[in-house]
Amino acid sequence: RVAEGEGRLEPGGQGGPRFGIGALSSLYTGWATTATLLRAGLLEGGSAAQLRALDAAFAGPTPWMMDEF
């Protein structure tokens, strides 16, 4: 749940979007959108409104790192 600029994870819920930690990491860093995760089979469930809310919550610039490996 996101309210007043804060996100909160709570047990239970109504069975919205389901995804693992790898998909959450990609979403959190802005590397992937919910559409990308759906196509890859890493996200399932959720209404269109819930998926838009996730995309909005994790929207931001493309990730980058100054260091090169």
Q: Where are the domains of the chain?
A: 18-59
Identify the pLDDT of residue 26: 93
Q: One digit per residue, pLDDT tens: the chain, 69 residues?
A: 778 878 777 777 777 899 999 999 999 988 899 999 999 999 999 999 999 999 998 888 877 778 877
Identify the pLDDT of residue 65: 79
Give dist(CA 5, CA 37) in Å, integer: 24
* pTM (2 d.p.): 0.74
Identify the pLDDT of residue 32: 93
Identify the pLDDT of residue 40: 97
Q: What is the 3-state secondary structure (H, E, C) of 12-44?
A: CCCCCCEECHHHHHHHHCCCCCHHHHHHCCCEE
